Chains A and B, each alone.
Chain A
């Protein structure tokens, strides 16, 4: 599309337009009015684009970066009202300031004009000094509008970048988590990892430790979102099977029975106390199962008590609590012991499960959790975890959890 710049009728030479001369569409069916207004605008340093009718005005607006339109309200074919409405309907990606020239000083005309999308009005005959003031005022608004648009675009780009980064982080975090189903010696693990936002402060793992031993852990970094997720990822990288074994088993290879899960937690505590300079900490539950002796050793550091479901259906909560990790210097941790026989099951869950609140603010709680787990058919681990997730969604009346939710079901196969 070509843009026609009408020569001004006063015979002035085209001034070399200043770098950012604002383009203004002048729409009027009256040629003398067009020429007169164009000349005034050009003298003021603007670049007029003239249109003899509404259709042409729309073309010019679409084919240029014109930020303003001066239009006559009385035009054949398309009148000024219709034109203003059509301009507002265009998806130009910029604001077009509409100055409407009305033939008579009528209140009704102006109200109708505003409704149609006009920003300002002038009446005929057009007075040069008033036009200059009106266009200057319009230019201020247009510049302000353009600055707003530019900063909004900047924010949009920044938002999209952050969003993409968080999505990438979430993907990386999911890859760090163990598979939802794993078979380690005589134990079957099933798990669900349901972050409250893209990324999560929850992390867990389960792995063989050599011989008849296997280890598992679950941690919940306080808070959620990106900050918590960064700590969770650091923790997941640190707690490898080697790190786990090196800290849980005594250094003395001659003394293989002196197992201490509290030593592992104390090592993490020291590490994270040194590393963090803010209020952050995490809760942790770590355990080791020695299959030959049916013994499970565990350390609970502020993490919710897992539910132990015996083969005969009896249930018990494991542990009496313990200080969180990386919270206060001088914390001490205990290693406790319990039997874990074939067909026993252990349900480990983050506090997002029991703290999930109904719309009236009632937490899901330990009793409902125990009742749900006890009712669930044995050896249908996946159904239990998915069923509980559905139950929580029903309880909270929401598809998104307010806190990160982790669930791990560990079951020993029968002989």
Chain B
């Protein structure tokens, strides 16, 4: 489900979440993939959500769980937030919890300079 952005380096690790929807159906797999990456050392992560049009409550839970797993060891930057997802982030105030950037370049730059 996660695709490494071609030409991107290891730190920050830059991934695209290649699924039109993040829901109860695929959240466990996404969560596991991310958990493995983080355990393997990817603690500064850029996640591009451009392909994702819809996130349900379970999907949101998995994103927050990833943020918690990274914790103070690293950083998570999100970009490519679609309008429907943005609406959900706003309703749940996650727009203030996640570091959200308008595009991949801005997100990577923010983590690189950190």
Q: Is A351 an interface residue (CB 8 A)?
A: yes
CB pair B92 A321 closer than 8 Å:
yes
CB pair B64 A328 closer than 8 Å:
yes
List of A residues within 8 angstroms of B60 by Cβ:
222
Please give the distance in Å from B104's CB to the nearest CB on chain A.
25
CB pair A279 B56 closer than 8 Å:
no
CB pair A327 B54 closer than 8 Å:
no
Please give the distance in Å from A363's CB to the nearest CB on chain B.
7
List of A residues within 8 angstroms of B93 by Cβ:
302, 321-323
Q: Is B58 an interface residue (CB 8 A)?
A: yes
List of B residues within 8 angstroms of A241 by Cβ:
none
B contact set with A: CB distance below 8 Å: 24, 31, 54, 56-58, 60-62, 64-65, 68, 84, 90-93, 97
Q: What are the nearest 5 A-B pairs in CB distance?
A: A222-B57, A302-B92, A279-B61, A279-B65, A321-B91
Q: Is A220 an interface residue (CB 8 A)?
A: yes
Of A279, A283, A320, chain B has the most CB atoms within 10 Å of the CB of A279
Look across to chain B and name the residue whose beta carbon is closest to the beta carbon of A354.
B87
Q: Say whether, besides A305-B91, A324-B92, A280 and B61 are in contact (CB < 8 Å).
A: yes
Q: Is A178 an interface residue (CB 8 A)?
A: no
Q: How far is the CA of A117 from the CA of B92 in the complex (A)?
A: 63
CB pair B91 A223 closer than 8 Å:
no
In A201-225, the 8 Å CB interface with B consists of 220, 222-224
In A221-258, the 8 Å CB interface with B consists of 222-224
Number of interface residues of A (CB under 8 A): 22
List of B residues within 8 angstroms of A269 by Cβ:
none
Q: B24, B61, B64, B90: which contacts A224 (Cβ < 8 A)?
A: B24
Please give the distance in Å from B103's CB to the nearest CB on chain A.
24
Contact sample, A vs B, 22 pairs, CB 8 Å cutoff: A222-B57, A222-B60, A223-B57, A223-B61, A279-B31, A279-B58, A279-B62, A281-B61, A283-B92, A321-B91, A321-B92, A321-B93, A322-B93, A323-B92, A323-B93, A323-B97, A328-B68, A328-B97, A351-B56, A355-B54, A355-B56, A403-B56
Count A/B pairs, Cβ under 8 Å: 49
Please give the distance in Å from B19's CB to the nearest CB on chain A.
13
CB pair A304 B68 closer than 8 Å:
no
List of A residues within 8 angstroms of B24 by Cβ:
223-224
Look across to chain A and name the residue whose beta carbon is closest to the beta carbon of B94.
A323
List of B residues within 8 angstroms of A321 by Cβ:
90-93
Q: How far is the CA of A223 from the CA of B60 in the complex (A)?
A: 10
Please encode chain A, from 286 to 322, with 1 for each CB lying within 8 Å of some chain B CB and 0 for all others. Answer: 0000000000000000101100000000000000111
Look across to chain A and name the residue whose beta carbon is closest to the beta carbon of B89.
A321
CB pair B92 A220 closer than 8 Å:
no
Q: How far is the CA of A351 from the CA of B60 in the complex (A)?
A: 13
List of A residues within 8 angstroms of B65 by Cβ:
279
List of A residues within 8 angstroms of B91 by Cβ:
302, 304-305, 321
Please give the distance in Å from A323's CB to the nearest CB on chain B.
5
List of A residues within 8 angstroms of B62 by Cβ:
279
CB pair B97 A222 closer than 8 Å:
no
Q: How far is the CA of A141 from the CA of B58 in the complex (A)?
A: 46
CB pair A351 B64 closer than 8 Å:
no
Please give the distance in Å from B92's CB to the nearest CB on chain A.
4
CB pair B58 A222 closer than 8 Å:
yes
Of A222, A281, A283, A351, chain B has the most CB atoms within 10 Å of the CB of A222
Please give the distance in Å from B48's CB to the nearest CB on chain A.
21
Q: How far is the CA of A320 from the CA of B84 in the complex (A)?
A: 16
List of B residues within 8 angstroms of A355 by Cβ:
54, 56
CB pair B54 A363 closer than 8 Å:
yes
CB pair A351 B57 closer than 8 Å:
yes
CB pair A283 B57 closer than 8 Å:
yes
Q: Say whether, besides A304-B91, A363-B84, A327 and B64 are in contact (CB < 8 Å).
A: yes
Q: Say whether, besides A279-B64, A279-B65, A363-B84, A223 and B58 are in contact (CB < 8 Å).
A: yes
Look across to chain B and name the residue whose beta carbon is closest to the beta carbon of A300.
B91
